[in-house]
Amino acid sequence: MKYFLSISALLTSLLTTNLHGQINDTIIEKVREEYSYERLLKNTLIVNPSNTSGARTYSITTFNLFSKNDDTPNEVQQKGKGSNLWGAEARTLQILDPKTVVWGNAIYSQGKKKQVMWNENADYDIIYPYLAADSVGGDMKFEDYIFSGGYSRALNSFTIGITGSYKASLSYRDVDPRPKNTTASFSLALGANTSIFQKIKIGAYVDAEKYTQKHYLSFVSNQGFPMIYNMTGLGNYNELLSGKLRQAYYEGWSYGGGLQLFEAENRNWYLNLGMKKFTLDKLLTEYTDLNASRINEQQFTFSSGKFFTANKLSWGLFLDASHIERKGTENLFLNDNSRNYIRIGSAERYNHQLTAAVFKGLIQLENNNRKSSLLPFVGITKENEKYHNPVSGIELNKLIYGADYQWLKTFDSNLALSLSLGVSVTDVYKKGAVFNNSGTPSINKMLQDNYNYQSSDFWQAKVDINFHFNFPVIKNAYVGGKMLYSNFNNGKNMSLAATIGGIF
């Protein structure tokens, strides 16, 4: 906690200087920009840090305390059945002069994930399918720290930018089985843009990230303990490496980059292409860092948008698409004795492909003190997950459609209300699964329960309310609340969140 407080103080002292350019900025103008759907859609360009210059009209600093309660009985078991957490966040972006922008964030949170099963690791979405797992599981406590910052400056005809972030996390359980996972990731991105044909900007960026996770599993009870599986995907596991290994080290690197093309003055149209490659090794530290498996993943992203304006009415069309392919390779070993494993080969047995495309529209109507925005959308996702030898697989094709609506009302220079509503439907129009049922009954049940959730149709409704006001002690304060309700054929999920803070 002391690190969070020190970073927050540093951000505040550094970024509350040079505020002379904000004297005429009103809080309400900042609020309107903060909640703008148009700004959020254009934010796809700031993956290149040089494009942060010009992304906002006003400097902004916020500090808030938040809490969140998720009750999600409908979820894959490896992610748990919900969570309780609270935390604090400090965030700022300062336009120091027409050529220079700096920004920074600091976030601290802690809580617990409820009923995490078949996963004793942290960061499931990063390291899957190579997990340590057992049939007992339980609640998992966690504590997270995130710090990030960046700088962008115009130099002659070019604008350059740099941004970096650091995240550290601890997750653990204080009853058997007792995992302790410490994770850390550090990322850095460099970018530049320049004008061509006067009214068009072209930009490029590169980024890299280092990820590590240290895993240790222990038991206190002397009455025995459950089988520890070295999972390899879709319920399969490495029999040779299961049962006795309680320590592992995950080390991963990602590299990527992208190109952007956009209208220079107001970003009324844009094109964005991105690519990233990720590799992750699982090392068994009890056996002289024996390399058990490797993940190779490639990601491709594309986004585009076009805005139109006529008096107080504006509208736009947008497309976001992505393709991710994750491959898993297992190393094969000969076991001479209980402490000596000899690598004799490798086999690529796991493959997971996910393709998604979402088409969005935007209609905005604005007058002096009121703004209404409607964002309808429709999209498809195609997912194909396979394991070879023994053969297992899941195929899911989904149609997703719905709309979000936002109403923003400003009452005076320090009083505003933002109300966002949304509804969406997910229709699974094609599905199929084949599982290797030669494993234990508990693993087979886990696979079937996960598939029932993944292949289920459902609809969602959400509400997000934020009220900005002046308070005698805290000027420019705001309170907010969110609700997300998901309805499945055999149950429901509910997420509730509350926030209180200030904006400057």
pLDDT tens, position by position, 69-122:
999 999 999 999 999 999 999 999 999 999 999 999 999 999 999 999 999 999
In whole angstroms, what is the distance from residue 52 CA to residue 241 CA? Answer: 48
In whole angstroms, what is the distance from residue 153 CA to residue 347 CA? Answer: 48
**How many Cα atoms within 13 Å fall on the side-chain side of residue 441?**
0
Query: What are the structure tokens assigned to 308, written together?
Result: 């139109």
Question: Which stretches does DSSP call E strand in 311-442?
Answer: 313-337, 340-366, 370-387, 392-412, 415-434
Low-confidence ranges of the chain (pLDDT < 70): 1-25, 224, 244, 336-339
**Strand 82-97 relative to strand 60-71, pairing:** antiparallel
pLDDT recorded at residue 411: 87
**Strand 477-488 relative to strand 458-469, pairing:** antiparallel
- Inter-residue contact 117 to 82 (CB < 8 Å): no
pLDDT recorded at residue 12: 46
In whole angstroms, what is the distance from residue 47 CA to residue 303 CA? Answer: 12
pLDDT recorded at residue 29: 87
Q: What is the mean pLDDT of the chain?
A: 92
Query: What are the structure tokens assigned to 86, written together?
Result: 């609270």
Query: What are the structure tokens assigned to 437, written together?
Result: 């049922």
To which H or E segment does residue 216 belong? strand 200-218
Q: Please list, in sequence order, all residues whose beta carbon lies within 8 angstroms of the beta carbon of residue 340, skipping any fewer than 6 positions away.
A: none
pLDDT recorded at residue 286: 84
Task: Tell me which residue of 188, 233, 279 sits closest to 392, measured CA to CA.
Answer: 233
pLDDT tens-digit series, residues 431-481? 999 998 777 899 999 999 999 999 999 999 999 999 999 887 777 899 999
Residues in the chain: 504
Cα three-residue angle 448-453-458, rounded to 5 degrees: 155
Which amino acid, residue 189?
A
